[in-house]
Amino acid sequence: MRPFSLKTAALILLPTFVFATSMFLVPLRDLAISSDKIVEAKVTSIVTKWNSDSTQIVTYIRMNITDDLIGADEDNEIIVMQPGGKVGNVTMAMEGTTIYKLGDNNIVFLRRDPMNASAWQTLGLYQGKYRIFTDASRVQRVAQDVSGKVILYKTMSGDTTAATNETGNNLSVIEFKDKVINYRTGR
Protein backbone atom coordinates (compact mmCIF):
# COMPACT_ATOMS: atom_id res chain seq x y z
CA MET A 1 0.00 0.00 0.00
CA ARG A 2 1.32 3.43 -0.93
CA PRO A 3 1.48 6.04 1.83
CA PHE A 4 -0.25 9.39 1.41
CA SER A 5 2.04 11.97 -0.08
CA LEU A 6 2.21 15.52 1.15
CA LYS A 7 0.59 16.65 -2.12
CA THR A 8 -2.38 14.30 -1.63
CA ALA A 9 -2.85 15.45 1.96
CA ALA A 10 -2.76 19.10 0.86
CA LEU A 11 -5.47 18.46 -1.75
CA ILE A 12 -7.69 16.75 0.80
CA LEU A 13 -7.22 19.49 3.39
CA LEU A 14 -7.39 22.38 0.90
CA PRO A 15 -10.46 24.46 1.66
CA THR A 16 -13.12 24.55 -1.00
CA PHE A 17 -14.91 27.80 -1.66
CA VAL A 18 -18.54 27.65 -2.67
CA PHE A 19 -20.36 30.86 -3.36
CA ALA A 20 -24.14 30.86 -3.08
CA THR A 21 -26.96 32.97 -1.76
CA SER A 22 -29.15 31.49 0.94
CA MET A 23 -32.71 32.74 1.09
CA PHE A 24 -36.18 31.75 2.14
CA LEU A 25 -38.78 30.94 -0.47
CA VAL A 26 -40.98 33.97 -1.06
CA PRO A 27 -44.37 32.61 -2.11
CA LEU A 28 -46.40 34.41 -4.76
CA ARG A 29 -48.86 35.56 -2.10
CA ASP A 30 -46.08 37.29 -0.12
CA LEU A 31 -44.60 38.88 -3.24
CA ALA A 32 -48.03 40.30 -4.13
CA ILE A 33 -48.71 41.65 -0.63
CA SER A 34 -45.20 43.03 0.04
CA SER A 35 -44.58 44.83 -3.25
CA ASP A 36 -44.77 48.60 -3.64
CA LYS A 37 -45.36 48.15 -7.36
CA ILE A 38 -46.22 45.22 -9.65
CA VAL A 39 -45.99 45.73 -13.40
CA GLU A 40 -45.80 43.92 -16.68
CA ALA A 41 -43.01 45.63 -18.59
CA LYS A 42 -40.66 45.25 -21.55
CA VAL A 43 -36.90 45.79 -21.10
CA THR A 44 -35.79 48.66 -23.37
CA SER A 45 -32.22 49.32 -22.15
CA ILE A 46 -29.62 47.98 -19.75
CA VAL A 47 -26.77 50.16 -18.45
CA THR A 48 -24.05 48.92 -16.13
CA LYS A 49 -21.67 51.30 -14.33
CA TRP A 50 -19.71 51.91 -11.16
CA ASN A 51 -21.53 53.54 -8.25
CA SER A 52 -20.56 57.10 -7.25
CA ASP A 53 -17.63 56.07 -5.04
CA SER A 54 -16.45 53.27 -7.40
CA THR A 55 -16.92 50.50 -4.83
CA GLN A 56 -19.71 48.55 -6.51
CA ILE A 57 -20.93 47.80 -10.01
CA VAL A 58 -24.62 48.49 -10.50
CA THR A 59 -26.93 47.62 -13.40
CA TYR A 60 -29.86 49.86 -14.34
CA ILE A 61 -32.68 48.23 -16.29
CA ARG A 62 -35.12 50.57 -18.07
CA MET A 63 -38.53 49.10 -18.91
CA ASN A 64 -41.70 50.29 -20.61
CA ILE A 65 -44.77 49.45 -18.53
CA THR A 66 -47.49 47.66 -20.49
CA ASP A 67 -49.73 46.83 -17.51
CA ASP A 68 -49.71 48.25 -13.98
CA LEU A 69 -51.26 45.50 -11.84
CA ILE A 70 -51.78 47.41 -8.60
CA GLY A 71 -52.48 50.97 -9.56
CA ALA A 72 -52.55 53.49 -12.31
CA ASP A 73 -49.27 55.36 -12.45
CA GLU A 74 -48.77 58.22 -14.88
CA ASP A 75 -45.30 56.94 -15.74
CA ASN A 76 -45.09 54.43 -18.54
CA GLU A 77 -41.44 53.76 -17.79
CA ILE A 78 -39.58 52.37 -14.81
CA ILE A 79 -35.92 51.94 -13.85
CA VAL A 80 -34.87 48.90 -11.83
CA MET A 81 -31.49 48.94 -10.07
CA GLN A 82 -29.68 45.68 -9.40
CA PRO A 83 -26.26 45.01 -7.84
CA GLY A 84 -23.63 43.48 -10.09
CA GLY A 85 -22.74 43.52 -13.75
CA LYS A 86 -19.69 44.04 -15.95
CA VAL A 87 -17.79 47.27 -16.57
CA GLY A 88 -14.79 46.91 -18.86
CA ASN A 89 -12.97 43.77 -17.80
CA VAL A 90 -14.30 43.84 -14.22
CA THR A 91 -17.29 41.65 -13.35
CA MET A 92 -19.18 41.75 -10.07
CA ALA A 93 -21.75 39.02 -9.56
CA MET A 94 -24.29 38.52 -6.82
CA GLU A 95 -25.63 34.99 -6.65
CA GLY A 96 -29.41 34.79 -6.66
CA THR A 97 -30.08 37.88 -8.72
CA THR A 98 -32.10 37.62 -11.88
CA ILE A 99 -31.01 38.29 -15.43
CA TYR A 100 -32.80 40.97 -17.39
CA LYS A 101 -32.47 40.74 -21.17
CA LEU A 102 -33.14 43.45 -23.72
CA GLY A 103 -36.56 42.98 -25.31
CA ASP A 104 -37.88 40.54 -22.69
CA ASN A 105 -41.39 40.98 -21.33
CA ASN A 106 -41.61 40.40 -17.59
CA ILE A 107 -43.94 40.72 -14.65
CA VAL A 108 -41.92 42.25 -11.84
CA PHE A 109 -42.59 42.70 -8.12
CA LEU A 110 -40.81 45.85 -6.98
CA ARG A 111 -39.95 47.92 -3.96
CA ARG A 112 -38.53 51.44 -3.85
CA ASP A 113 -34.75 51.57 -3.74
CA PRO A 114 -33.98 53.03 -0.28
CA MET A 115 -30.83 54.74 -1.60
CA ASN A 116 -32.28 56.15 -4.84
CA ALA A 117 -35.89 57.36 -4.88
CA SER A 118 -36.04 57.34 -8.69
CA ALA A 119 -35.14 53.63 -8.94
CA TRP A 120 -36.77 50.36 -7.94
CA GLN A 121 -35.43 46.99 -6.80
CA THR A 122 -36.69 43.52 -7.66
CA LEU A 123 -38.30 42.10 -4.51
CA GLY A 124 -36.75 38.81 -3.35
CA LEU A 125 -33.89 38.91 -5.89
CA TYR A 126 -34.76 36.46 -8.70
CA GLN A 127 -38.03 35.49 -7.00
CA GLY A 128 -39.62 38.85 -7.88
CA LYS A 129 -39.17 38.64 -11.66
CA TYR A 130 -41.23 36.44 -13.93
CA ARG A 131 -40.25 36.21 -17.59
CA ILE A 132 -43.19 35.90 -19.96
CA PHE A 133 -42.75 33.17 -22.56
CA THR A 134 -44.97 31.38 -25.08
CA ASP A 135 -45.26 27.60 -24.70
CA ALA A 136 -45.69 24.99 -27.46
CA SER A 137 -49.48 25.46 -27.33
CA ARG A 138 -49.02 29.21 -27.91
CA VAL A 139 -50.13 30.07 -24.38
CA GLN A 140 -48.24 32.88 -22.67
CA ARG A 141 -46.84 31.70 -19.34
CA VAL A 142 -44.51 32.98 -16.61
CA ALA A 143 -41.28 31.60 -15.14
CA GLN A 144 -38.63 32.85 -12.73
CA ASP A 145 -35.00 33.07 -13.90
CA VAL A 146 -32.10 32.73 -11.48
CA SER A 147 -28.47 33.68 -11.96
CA GLY A 148 -25.88 31.69 -10.05
CA LYS A 149 -26.28 29.32 -7.17
CA VAL A 150 -29.09 29.61 -4.66
CA ILE A 151 -29.87 27.58 -1.58
CA LEU A 152 -33.60 27.96 -1.16
CA TYR A 153 -35.29 27.16 2.14
CA LYS A 154 -39.00 26.67 2.70
CA THR A 155 -40.92 29.55 4.21
CA MET A 156 -39.87 30.85 7.61
CA SER A 157 -43.23 29.94 9.15
CA GLY A 158 -42.75 26.24 8.46
CA ASP A 159 -46.19 26.13 6.82
CA THR A 160 -46.06 23.63 3.97
CA THR A 161 -49.49 24.14 2.40
CA ALA A 162 -49.59 24.50 -1.38
CA ALA A 163 -50.71 28.14 -1.21
CA THR A 164 -47.87 29.01 1.15
CA ASN A 165 -45.22 27.56 -1.15
CA GLU A 166 -46.81 28.51 -4.47
CA THR A 167 -44.39 30.34 -6.75
CA GLY A 168 -46.68 30.86 -9.72
CA ASN A 169 -44.18 29.32 -12.14
CA ASN A 170 -45.70 28.01 -15.38
CA LEU A 171 -49.11 29.60 -14.83
CA SER A 172 -50.64 31.32 -17.83
CA VAL A 173 -50.19 35.10 -17.71
CA ILE A 174 -53.94 35.53 -17.22
CA GLU A 175 -54.08 33.06 -14.29
CA PHE A 176 -50.96 34.60 -12.78
CA LYS A 177 -52.30 38.17 -12.91
CA ASP A 178 -55.65 37.04 -11.45
CA LYS A 179 -53.88 35.33 -8.52
CA VAL A 180 -51.70 38.38 -7.87
CA ILE A 181 -54.69 40.75 -7.86
CA ASN A 182 -56.68 38.37 -5.63
CA TYR A 183 -53.80 38.14 -3.14
CA ARG A 184 -53.52 41.95 -3.12
CA THR A 185 -57.21 42.46 -2.51
CA GLY A 186 -57.49 39.65 0.05
CA ARG A 187 -59.93 37.55 -1.97
Q: Is 86 left (phi over 0), alpha (psi -120 to 50) or beta?
A: beta
Q: What is the pLDDT of residue 153?
A: 45
Please give the CATH number for the structural domain made up of 25-185.
2.40.50
CB contact set of 164 (below 8 Å; sequence gap of 6+): 27, 29, 155, 157
Q: pLDDT, tens digit, for every residue of 18-76?
A: 455 555 677 889 899 999 999 999 999 999 999 989 999 999 999 999 999 986 666 78
Q: What is the pLDDT of residue 39?
A: 95
Better-scored residue on pLDDT, 107 or 22: 107
Rounded to two decimals, the pTM is 0.78
pLDDT for 139 beyond 90 = yes
Q: What is the pLDDT of residue 96?
A: 72
Distances (CA, A) of 171 to 5, 22, 39, 51, 61: 56, 26, 16, 37, 25
How is the chain split into domains, by residue range? Answer: 25-185
